[in-house]
Structure formats: structure tokens, C-alpha cells
Structure 1
Amino acid sequence: MWIVASDFDRTLSHESDKFVIRKDIAEKINSFSKIYKFFVVTGREERYMKLLAPGLSPTGWILENGSLIVVNSKKIINAPKNWFTIRQSISRKLKELGIPHSFGEVIIYVDSWSEEISFESARVERNRRDAMILPPNVEKGSGLRIALKELNVEGKVVAVGDAENDVSLFRVADYKVAVENALPEIKSLADFVLDKEDGDGVVELLDLILSGRFPEGVNIH
């Protein structure tokens, strides 16, 4: 069983499309998901994914950087029970420091934040220019593990990404794949680097899997 776990922004969707997934890419993923498993693993909130990915029906969604899992219409919160109390105290500290932020269902988002800061009861995950504040030990990789356990699915995991917060996803993968537009440090960690950017790169990967040419058919970086 092949299990593909793909980031969304700059991996499935392109910035020039305002991160709305193209119809042909969504259709390819939907078709693939009828044969194998495909998970969208993103830092984004569920409400935004409904706007950015209309018509996309993967096997499951790992949202908010692994802190919110949606499979079979079931939502799973990947956070300790005291997290929301901790989250409020972190928010107060951010306000005192004058750092604008917003809440997802679970995590805290800080846009265009380059400052260094740490919290005793939380971790900060970078994603290019932005940051996400999460419960300890919560990341894309842990979210994927929960989704697979919930569905009782086993197989070869292929993780696809482009930026720093995809590193934890790489850790749980049998094959680490970077799209062509990935950051250099992500390409250096990948087993394979695709020829194409964004969603076109993911379609390239799915075609290789479906044709039986993966992993031999992928360009090794």
C-alpha cells in the first residue's frame, strides 16, 4: 500500500494562483485516493482549506501542522487537555510583546515573524517567513501517525514538501520527496527531488507511483 502525505502551500498549490489548487491537480489526487492513500498535511486551518481546495477529496486531512486531524468526517484534536489554558497565557505574552497573532482551532499563528522566542510549554515551528506555536511534540509527523492509526492503515509512506515544517513529516516517511521549488535545505534532506514545481511535481510523483516506476523513475538529487 502506498501512502502519500503532501504539504499544501507551494507543494500542491502555487502562490501565483493565490494558493487555490488547480482543478486538474485535485482530480488527479481524487483519482489516486481511490487506489491508494493520500493525505494533505498542512499548517492551514480547516476553514481556509475549504476555500483553497474546493473539490479535493483526499483520504484525510492533517491540519494546523498536525494538531487537528480530520478522517472519515471525524475530528481529532492532537493536543494535551491543558493546552487551551496554556495557549491563552502564550497569547497574553505575545500581546505584551506587541506581536500580532491569531488562533486556529488548536494552534497560534504569527505572520512574518523573524524574532527568536521560546515557551516552556509549547514549541515554535517555522514555515518560511511565518511561525506556528503548538503543543510540545505536536507536528506534521505525529499528526500523520494518528491519522494512520485511526484508519488502521499500513504501507510505504511517501512524504512531499517544500519548507521547514515538512521536516517532521520526512522523519516518518519511507521516502522523502521535495518539489523542485523546495527550499535548499529541504532538497538536501530529500531522497528524491522532482523535476516540476508545486502541484505539477506532485502529479509527476503520483504518475510514477501509478505506473510502477517509483522510486526508480525519480531524479535523485
Structure 2
Amino acid sequence: MDIDWNEILVASDYDRTLANEESNFVISPIVVQKVNEFSKKYKFVVVSGREKKFMDKLAVGLRPTAWILENGSLIFFDNKEFVLCEKSWFERDREKIIEILDNLKAKYSIGRVIIYIDGYGSKLDMLRDIEKYGRIEVNRNDAMILPKGVDKGVGVLKFKELTGFKGKIIAVGDSENDYALFRIADIKVAVANAIPQIKEIADIVTEKPNGLGVVEILDKILSGNFGKEVDIH
């Protein structure tokens, strides 16, 4: 694959990718400094299932090119917000899903767009009725319910459209909800702490875990060495 290393976009997951669980997902100053440095030369987007209000608390000082949040359903870029779903999601579908969850007595929370369910990552059979109105994505032991046709990959492609970006995408992730991110990437990077299924489909697995793994990749790109090490056909 011919890559123009002057025209790239790094799309990185947040939890267990940019920030680690041991620090309660508060991002390290080392990672903040490197991402901010990188974002002055290249495009860097944070692609996460989290809500913006939590990112504001956990990623203080981080200044990526854009935030693609709630698993691809919201884009924050250039002081604007873009919502990637139809009006029917708010007017009908989400209310139907909430009714089903209430009947199941499930513990859930509602974001700007998506619904988060705690502890249902291994109980998907109980949620099958929801698929009439939305789609379910697993993230380790938890689940997220999104509008149909929305995922992390869709969010990144919409960002490309909004910015007119024509270059290549390097995606960095660790877990199940990063499959969609990897699907639209030219180069797939798994951090060292990623689940085995993500490592198996990755083009590169970093030596270091979490944010230090992301720093590892960004340093190689900034130094001009990353392209020499990648051989993708």
C-alpha cells in the first residue's frame, strides 16, 4: 500500500488505549503532551464511546483535531457539534428501547444520543428485542445501544467528509467496539493490552500498553520511521 506520510489521520480509542484503567482513565500528562504536539502537524481524533462531559474531566488539556464521541454518533470539531442519527431516534426508537430496558430492570444511562448498559456484554440474548429499534455494541462486559447505521467507523468517515480529508487513516484501539474503527482504517494498530481478537486483526501491535503504546506510534510517525516499518499489501 502506498502511503503519503504527509497526509495521515490517527483515530484513537480512549479507554484502555489513550488512558488506562489503573488511573481511572485520567489521561497521563505524557500522552497529552505527545498528542498535542502531534496534532499541530497531523490530524488526530479521539474516537470513544464516552460522553463529552466525562472527556472534559478525564482528558484535561488534551487538544486533538476533533472528538468523535458516543461511539461515533457525535462529532465535535471546529467549535461545532454534528449529530449522526435520524430524528426518529429521538422521537420514537430510543423511547421504545428505554421501555424494554425498564421491563428488564436493567441498569442504564442515557447520553446525548446513545444508551449505556452496565454488565450486559455477556447477556445479549436478553436484549434481542432492542435490535428492532437500534443496534448493540459490546465493549468488554458492558453494552452500548446506538441508532442503526452508526458506529465509530461511520463517525470517522463523516469527519473525513466534513474536512475534505483525502489521506490515509491509522486506527488505534483495544476492544470489541474498535472493530468498526479498524474496518475503515488503512493501518490497524492494537495497543499491547488489547484483547486477543483485536490483536489478531491488527497490522501492528505496540510494545507498550495504553497511552504509552499510542505515544510509541506517534513518535515513530513524527520521526519519519513509521512508514519504513510498515509493509501492508
- If the length of structure 1 is used for normalisation, what is the TM-score? 0.97
SS of residue paired to 1:82: helix
Give the counterpart of 1:130 among 142, 145, 148.
142
Q: CA deviation at 1:97?
A: 1.0
Cα deviation, 1:136-193, whole Å, max 9, x if unaligned, reads 1100000011112111112110000000000000011100000000000000010111
SS of residue paired to 1:48: helix
1:163 paired with 2:175, answer yes
Corresponding position of 2:82: 76
Q: CA deviation at 1:215?
A: 3.9
SS of residue paired to 1:89: helix
Q: CA deviation at 1:15?
A: 0.7
2: CA distance, partners of 1:215 / 1:169 = 21
2: CA distance, partners of 1:148 / 1:60 = 11
For the 8 Å contact 1:163–1:186, the answer to whether it is kept is yes
SS of residue paired to 2:61: coil
SS of residue paired to 1:8: coil
2: CA distance, partners of 1:175 / 1:60 = 19
Corresponding position of 1:214: 226
Corresponding position of 1:19: 25
Q: CA deviation at 1:41?
A: 0.2
Cα deviation, 1:190-209, whole Å, max 9, x if unaligned, reads 01111000000000000111
Q: Which has the higher helix share?
A: 2
2: CA distance, partners of 1:216 / 1:21 = 29
Letter in 1 for 2:104: L
Letter in 1 for 2:150: V
- If the length of structure 2 is used for normalisation, what is the TM-score? 0.92
For the 8 Å contact 2:140–2:176, the answer to whether it is kept is yes
SS of residue paired to 2:57: helix
SS of residue paired to 2:41: coil
Q: CA deviation at 1:219?
A: 11
Corresponding position of 1:65: 71
For the 8 Å contact 2:74–2:83, the answer to whether it is kept is yes
2: CA distance, partners of 1:215 / 1:42 = 26
1:144 paired with 2:137, answer no
Q: CA deviation at 1:21?
A: 0.4
SS of residue paired to 2:132: coil
SS of residue paired to 1:38: strand
Q: Percent identity?
A: 51
Corresponding position of 2:58: 52
2: CA distance, partners of 1:180 / 1:142 = 25
1:101 paired with 2:101, answer no
For the 8 Å contact 2:191–2:207, the answer to whether it is kept is yes
2: CA distance, partners of 1:185 / 1:219 = 21
For the 8 Å contact 2:94–2:133, the answer to whether it is kept is no
1:115 paired with 2:123, answer yes
Shift of the 219–15 alpha-carbon distance from structure 1 to 2, 3 Å rule, reads farther
Is the deviation greater in 115-124 or in 160-169?
115-124
Give the counterpart of 2:184 among 172, 179, 188.
172
Q: CA deviation at 1:218?
A: 6.5
Letter in 2 for 1:103: I
Corresponding position of 2:12: 6
For the 8 Å contact 1:192–1:219, the answer to whether it is kept is no
The aligned length equals 220
